[in-house]
Amino acid sequence: MSNILVYIHAPDGTPTKGQRELLALAARLGEASAVLGGPADAAALSGLASAGATGFYAAAGGLDATGLIAPAVSLLEAAVRASGATAVLLPNTVEGREIAARAAVRLDAGVITDAIDVDAELTVTKPVLAGSYTVKAQVTRGPALITLKANSVELPEAAAAAGAAAPVHELELGETGPAARITATAEHAATGRPELSEARFVVAGGRGVDGDFGPVEDLADALGAAVGASRAATDAGWIDHSAQVGQTGTTVSPQLYISAGISGAIQQKAGMQTAKTIIAVNKDPDAPVFEIADLGIVGDLAQVLPQAAAEIRRRKG
């Protein structure tokens, strides 16, 4: 069976949904091994093993966490050479794309981003042009470096019982090349809500919330949804930039996207129009967002959202 590597950005006791999707897909394509992009304790290894990893690669002496991207590229390059992997799956994040991009230069390989599926021949399905086309593409040279969008892979019902985790191959990286230094990190404030890019449900607000994200957050919490926003709302400072959905924010493909007080500009649609179901609430009947909504509600979000949140809570009892 061919070796498939999965790049794990931050190993943790409980793998994230995105990491489990990567490992589940890798296990479907071959023998899945995890490349550890950060320190991993026994709990992290067994968590990854139960998600499908049967082997591990790590940087001997640990990965230089203050070097931007270049150390991770050296690790991935070394892991590909050591494993002879035919494919590497990475998250479709800024980091995942950049690591793949640079490793591809070193390995004389091809990269395909934004994958939503990969078949046994390593043919990749991906949306292009802001979701207006779907293409199938292949890497023709070197290992296939593929970044996978979250919410693309059906996860197995029950995780495999965690056996004893396989030993970790420690790789000597040597000089990893010029890199910018990360001198400080301001972590995103914990909201207690699902992570936007991998959430099943998203409720997003735009300029129409007029400074008050309360109704959007309330409906999100009633549904167990992540909170998103248009750039107009993040630019206004009503909510953190990390909530921005769209061309220059996060791309989401949830089961359900509720858009409230968002007009539906092309840059916003680019980040959400592959959602399974779209509901739009907007007081302007001519808002372009209604063209892509499965259910459109012409109305005031300050009325409609609280009523819906209360009704959901009532039905849940």
Ligand X SMILES: Cc1cc2nc3c(=O)[nH]c(=O)nc-3n(C[C@H](O)[C@H](O)[C@H](O)COP(=O)(O)OP(=O)(O)OC[C@H]3O[C@@H](n4cnc5c(N)ncnc54)[C@H](O)[C@@H]3O)c2cc1C
Q: In the complex, which residues of this chain contact ligand X (CB under 6 A)? A: 206-208, 230-233, 244-249, 261-263, 265, 267-268, 271, 281-284, 287, 300-302
CA atoms of 163 and 50, how far apart (whole Å) = 7
User: Which among 26-34, 44-52, 78-86, 89-97 is the span making contact with another protein, rule CB under 8 A?
Assistant: 89-97
Q: Which does 243 bind (CB under 5 to 8 A by kind): another protein, ligand X, none?
A: none
Question: Smallest distance from the beta carbon of 267 to ligand X, in angstroms?
Answer: 3
Size of the site for another protein (CB under 8 A): 96
Long-range contacts of 157-162 (CB under 8 A, 24+ apart): 159/20, 159/50, 159/51, 160/50, 160/52, 161/50, 162/46, 162/47, 162/49, 162/50
Chain position carrying tokens 């499965």: 294
Closest Cα to residue 201, out of 146, 163, 254, 149?
254
Q: Are 137 and 112 in contact (CB under 8 A)?
A: yes
The nearer residue to another protein, 162 or 236, going by C-beta atoms, is 236
Q: Which does 100 bind (CB under 5 to 8 A by kind): ligand X, another protein, none?
A: another protein
CA atoms of 262 and 281, how far apart (whole Å) = 8
The nearer residue to another protein, 127 or 205, going by C-beta atoms, is 127
Question: Smallest distance from the beta carbon of 164 to another protein, in angstroms?
Answer: 30
Q: Which of 42, 167, 172, 185 binds another protein (CB under 8 A)?
A: 185
The nearer residue to ligand X, 176 or 282, going by C-beta atoms, is 282
Question: Smallest distance from the beta carbon of 312 to another protein, in angstroms?
Answer: 6
Question: Smallest distance from the beta carbon of 300 to another protein, in angstroms?
Answer: 7
Q: Would you tell me how many other CB atoms lie within 10 Å of the CB of residue 280?
A: 25
Q: Which does 60 bind (CB under 5 to 8 A by kind): ligand X, another protein, none?
A: none
The nearer residue to ligand X, 122 or 287, going by C-beta atoms, is 287
Q: Is the dihedral of CA 190, 193, 194, 196 positive or negative?
A: negative
Q: Is 106 in the site for another protein (CB under 8 A)?
A: yes
Q: Which does 6 bind (CB under 5 to 8 A by kind): another protein, ligand X, none?
A: none
What x/- string results for residues 122 through 161 when contact with another protein is judged by CB under 8 A?
Answer: -x---xxxxxxxxxxxxxxxx-------------------
CA atoms within 13 A on the CB side of 97: 8
What are the distances in angstroms from CA 305 to CA 207, 272, 278, 286, 313?
Answer: 15, 20, 15, 20, 12
Please return the burial class of 183, using the count of CB atoms within 10 Å of its CB with bins 0-12, 13-18 and 19+: exposed
